[in-house]
Amino acid sequence: MAPSGTAPSTEETAPETGQLTDGFHLVIDALKLNGITTIYGVPGIPITDLGRMAQAEGMRVISFRHEQNAGNAAAIAGYLTKRPGVCLTVSAPGFLNGLTALAHATTNCWPMILISGSSEREVVDLQQGDYEELDQLAIARPLCKAAYRVLHAEDIGIAVARAIRAALSGRPGGVYLDLPAKLLGQAIDAAEGAASLVEVVDPAPAQFPAPAAVRRALDILGKARKPLIILGKGAAYAQADDLVRGFVEKTGIPYIAMSMAKGLLPDTHPQYAGAARSLALKEADTVMLIGARLNWLLSHGKGKQWGAPGSKTFVQIDIDPKEMDSNQPVAGPLVGDIASCLSALLDGMGDGWARPPAEWTEAIRAKCEANVAKMAPRLQNNNVPMDFHGALGALRTIIKERPEAILVNEGANTLDFARSIIDMYRPRKRLDVGTWGVMGVGMGTAIAAAIETGQPVLAVEGDSAFGFSGMEVETICRYGLPVCVVVFNNGGIYRGTDVNPSGGPDAATTVFVPGARYDRMMEAFGGVGVNATSPDELRRAVNEAMDSGRPTLINAVIDPAAGTESGRIGNLNPQSVVSRK
């Protein structure tokens, strides 16, 4: 009989004594027992056969061209499914390639497990020069929630269980699982192996807020004259969509949504203050954070955009108590999971909750309407070459007509303009660069989104951002995924008009090959390539791609002078005060 490939259940007969299984099959069985049926990775020594065997056992194994892209796919799979996304890599350089994605997942609080083959402990510890020798466990530990190494086949089940629980419990994040090559070939009794597997029970238990904390938060909100709610991607990850909507609507408080929280309520909701963000942040007297953190994306809750120092009172929901007071004092900390906290708040509000003063909500609404009206003509232009507003105005209409489509977005200007221009209507439909602002997540994210949801994907990429993962268009074609990639091609980083200040023959550091045709990359692998020079051409090409479901790449020709330095975060680039003239 072949080695055991499935975990025993009440309907199956346990393996007989004397039959064998091995590390390869125990890893597969442990993952399947816990509902993990998809692996993202790059095959190679020493995990090539692990991928083959997983596929033979009915798992979906998606092979990429680079481990970082596979890791980004696993990270976003964790966000979309609330189950750990799994990335499988080879040792040393492959592991290091996947490590950026693991750290990215941890920073964004997405559950992910990076599984890497590795050299044997005794060789690594004596530094004897093994093939791709590297102390991977020590390197991974500072960059993830937990890191484990398995040395004995009978410990694989418990190791996988610990990795799953660590990835999902409390604040989710990345976990590293180190599998030395010899482990995979270790043979043990099949019955013993089956008994060693662990099915994780309730890996992310509800964490209820203290009743006193709920009363305190409601008291603060009830006294506010100009309250504001900020929804972060943690609120989207929680999949407590009805509770979020119920709380926002019952309070009547205006809200803004961070980029990946857009669509928790439609961006057309009457309480949405996104188009009046500056006014809302500056004038609010009380700010409630739901699944959002006061990090750099919110200027740490400080500075001119937040009004006078000390003018804000903060209420915050977070599962990690250490997050409170990270940048500003939090007067109303609610420690617990989002669903439990919102349920408790709704119960505590009763039926007589007083909504915010009309002067505040009307001021927000009037500002939103004025800004939307001011922007509208810019989004309707049909300029050739395109500018960002005309091109994104065309895509805005497409997303409105196809609210179930998933929008993947990265770049500098392409990202910054898109998140304010393109309205979202459903939760977890906008996927982007996350907390770190990592460029290069686009193709991995698009692939995982298509696989995990089955929905069509529109990936809107800056030409610079696309360059980090562009070879994965072959992966999109190989698996026949319904992904339409739009590359906003303005010939450079930020813009394509910079010149070498020395006057030398080299191109400026931010300039690419002018007139590049990214669409032909997709054609090379059997997909559809289109060159679009106007918003009308772009609209037609995207609609055709979304209707057909065929892998498509549209080279959207953008005016090289249209961009701005670093999008809207150019202030993060330090300025030299020294002149060498």
Structural domain boundaries, residue 551: 380-557
CB 232 within 8 A of CB 289: yes
- Please, which residues have CB within 8 angstroms of residue 484's CB and are 6 or more apart in sequence? 456, 457, 458, 459, 542, 545, 546, 552, 553, 554
Bond before 385 cis per omega within 30 degrees: yes
Are both 68 and 184 inside the same structural domain?
yes
Average pLDDT per 10 consecutive residues for the chain, totaling 581 residues: 40 68 98 98 95 98 98 98 98 97 98 95 87 93 98 98 98 97 96 98 98 98 98 98 98 98 98 98 98 95 94 97 96 98 97 95 98 96 96 98 98 95 98 96 98 98 97 98 98 95 96 97 98 98 98 98 78 70 58
Domain annotation covers residue 302: yes
Q: Map tokens 């609210």 to a residue.
A: 403
Cα–Cα distance measured from residue 530 to residue 523, given in angstroms and rounded to the nearest whole number: 9
- The one-letter amino acid at 571: N
CB 257 within 8 A of CB 277: no
* pLDDT at residue 14, as a whole number: 62
Are both 414 and 488 inside the same structural domain?
yes
* pLDDT at residue 3, as a whole number: 39
Are both 165 and 289 inside the same structural domain?
no
* pLDDT at residue 578, as a whole number: 76
Q: Which two tokens stand for residue 47?
A: 């995990």
Instruction: Identify the sign of the CA torsion 254, 260, 264, 268.
Output: positive
- CATH code for the domain of 128: 3.40.50.970
Are both 266 and 150 inside the same structural domain?
no
- Please, which residues have CB within 8 angstroms of residue 550's CB and are 6 or more apart in sequence? 480, 482, 527, 528
Cα–Cα distance measured from residue 447 to residue 64, given in angstroms and rounded to the nearest whole number: 10
Are both 229 and 184 inside the same structural domain?
no
* pLDDT at residue 11, as a whole number: 44
Last residue of a domain, one of 366, 395, 419: 366
Are both 176 and 55 inside the same structural domain?
yes
| Buried-exposed string 458-482: b where 16+ CB fall within 10 A, e elsewhere | bbbbbbbbbbbbbebbbbbbbeebb
CB 88 within 8 A of CB 51: yes
Cα–Cα distance measured from residue 44 to residue 42, given in angstroms and rounded to the nearest whole number: 7
Domain annotation covers residue 190: yes
Q: How many domains does the chain have?
A: 3
Are both 246 and 350 inside the same structural domain?
yes
Cα–Cα distance measured from residue 340 to residue 265, given in angstroms and rounded to the nearest whole number: 19
* pLDDT at residue 163, as a whole number: 98
Element of type H or E holding 21: strand 20-22
Element of type H or E holding 138: helix 136-140
Cα–Cα distance measured from residue 428 to residue 79, given in angstroms and rounded to the nearest whole number: 9
Are both 157 and 89 inside the same structural domain?
yes
Cα–Cα distance measured from residue 161 to residue 199, given in angstroms and rounded to the nearest whole number: 7
What angle (nearest 5°) sits at the alpha carbon of residue 419, between those of residues 231 and 256? 25
Are both 462 and 498 inside the same structural domain?
yes
Domain annotation covers residue 4: no
Domain annotation covers residue 413: yes
Are both 362 and 430 inside the same structural domain?
no
Are both 468 and 491 inside the same structural domain?
yes
Last residue of a domain, one of 140, 170, 196: 196
Domain annotation covers residue 385: yes
- CATH code for the domain of 298: 3.40.50.1220
Domain annotation covers residue 399: yes
CA torsion, points 5, 6, 11, 14, in degrees to nearest 10?
60
Bond before 43 cis per omega within 30 degrees: no
Domain annotation covers residue 375: no
CB 201 within 8 A of CB 266: no
Are both 189 and 261 inside the same structural domain?
no
Last residue of a domain, one of 315, 341, 366: 366
Domain annotation covers residue 5: no
